[in-house]
Amino acid sequence: MRCGSHRRRRLGGTVRTRTTLPALGKLAALAAAALVLAACGGGGGGGGATAPGAGAGGEALTLGFSQVGAESGWRTANTKSVQDAAGAAGIELQFSDAQQKQENQIKAIRSFIQQRVDVIAFSPVVESGWDTVLMEAKRANIPVILTDRAVDSTDTTLYKTFLGSDFVEEGRKAGQWLVEDTAGGSGPVNIVELQGTTGSAPAIDRQEGFAETIAQNPDLKVIASQTGDFTRSGGRQVMEAFLKTHPDIDVLYAHNDDMGLGAIEAIEAAGKVPGTDIKIITVDAVKDGMQALADGKINYIVECNPLLGPQLMDLVKKVAAGEEVPQRVVTEETTFDTAAAKAALPSRQY
């Protein structure tokens, strides 16, 4: 609820109001401002019970959220988690879908600053190019929370916390499964890799973690690696090209289920059996990926949990109230083989 022509924001335990009173004498202006404040539940204290997700003055907190896009099953689940959790927390959500374009995210963040939202959260589509707009939010005293993906800014005062997975560890888990699955084998194992969006934290880190882990076995060789932009169509198109160029592919490592599912279409169209002729490792563990795993078309999935909404809303309330929060909040996640996928599918939320 907003009072009159001003918004009340909380940051660092201080209440800041911005009123648009007509030009009055200083005393009269102060008196008028005091009246306006009183009508809006007083200053910082804001007596009386507050609704969940409300500021100390009793009005609902407003969160500006810039989402990457709707490129994958994971993203759809992540968006639903954020929207549902905001509703449950009584937080007013201004949601923006950037269609995987950084310039759209920057525009959205500037719009949130203009709207004087209480908190800004976003999943940066790529790691670089955020310092300027994050400095604008800092100067406007609006706290920023990174969710899902990280930025490469060296100035960590530009955001309050980063809530998301450890993508390097996800790559390591994928590589470790392959090292164990090929242990004792002889001869080269030819791997092709479908990378996520170029320049994005998950693509950079999942490639790094996988490469450092498979280095244990010199027979494991990545013979081709290219972005499929986290989409099914991207995975299918790149896998079609890989199959034309490399008749001897043994393993596919895809940075997400959607590209792996697209690749399966290409593998089957080429007359090969996914999961048998070409072993497949993916990341995410969304329902469609888990079904392919249960069916034996994918061999191993490293989970990347998209259900960040509830944790995000807790962090929003804390930073809006000026409370300290950890610089990094890592999401809990696991791995699945075929048996585990069959057991998990009936109750899978996403």
- Taking the least distance from each CB to ligand GZL, the nearer of 64 and 164 is 164
Asked if residues 168 and 209 have their Cβ atoms less than 8 Å apart, the reply is yes
Q: Which of residues 111-140 bind ligand GZL (CB under 6 A)?
A: none
- Taking the least distance from each CB to ligand GZL, the nearer of 59 and 284 is 284
Q: Which of 75, 116, 172, 318 contacts ligand GZL by CB under 6 A?
A: 75
Please state the closest distance from residue 148 (CB atom) to ligand GZL, in A. 5
Q: How far apart are CA 236 and CA 220, in angstroms?
A: 23
CA-to-CA separations, 49 to 44, 45, 55, 59, 250, in angstroms, rounded:
14, 11, 10, 11, 62
Q: Please report whether residue 251 would count as binding ligand GZL according to CB under 6 A.
A: no
Q: Which of 62, 66, 67, 72 contacts ligand GZL by CB under 6 A?
A: 72
Q: Please report whether residue 304 would count as binding ligand GZL according to CB under 6 A.
A: yes
Neighbours of 48 (CB within 10 A): 10
Q: Please report whether residue 202 would count as binding ligand GZL according to CB under 6 A.
A: yes
Please state the closest distance from residue 100 (CB atom) to ligand GZL, in A. 9
Q: Please report whether residue 283 would count as binding ligand GZL according to CB under 6 A.
A: yes
Please state the closest distance from residue 95 (CB atom) to ligand GZL, in A. 17
Q: Which of 127, 205, 284, 303 contacts ligand GZL by CB under 6 A?
A: 284
Listed in sequence order, the residues at least 6 apart from 217 whose beta carbon sits closer than 8 Å to its beta carbon are 179, 182, 183, 189
Q: Which of residues 8-67 bind ligand GZL (CB under 6 A)?
A: none
Asked if residues 146 and 304 have their Cβ atoms less than 8 Å apart, the reply is no
Among the listed residues 55, 133, 126, the one whose alpha carbon sits nearest the alpha carbon of residue 91:
55
Q: How far apart are CA 30 and CA 65, in angstroms?
A: 34
Q: How far apart are CA 231 and CA 131, in angstroms?
A: 28
Separate counts of helices (H) and strands (E) for the chain: 11, 14
Q: Which of 65, 74, 112, 300 contacts ligand GZL by CB under 6 A?
A: 74
Please state the closest distance from residue 90 (CB atom) to ligand GZL, in A. 26
Q: How far apart are CA 337 and CA 335, in angstroms?
A: 7
Q: Is 260 exposed, middle or buried (0-12, 13-18, 19+ CB in 10 A)?
A: buried
Phi, psi of 336 (to 5 degrees): -135, 135
Please state the closest distance from residue 268 (CB atom) to ligand GZL, in A. 22
Please state the closest distance from residue 131 (CB atom) to ligand GZL, in A. 21
Q: Please report whether residue 230 would count as binding ligand GZL according to CB under 6 A.
A: yes
- Taking the least distance from each CB to ligand GZL, the nearer of 42 and 129 is 129
| Residue nearest to ligand GZL as judged by C-beta position | 74
Q: Which of 7, 116, 149, 317 contacts ligand GZL by CB under 6 A?
A: 149
- 3-state SS record for 89-126: HCCEEEEEECCCCHHHHHHHHHHHHHHCCCEEEECCCC
Q: Which residues bind ligand GZL (CB under 6 A)?
A: 71-72, 74-75, 148-149, 164-165, 202, 230, 256, 258, 283-284, 304
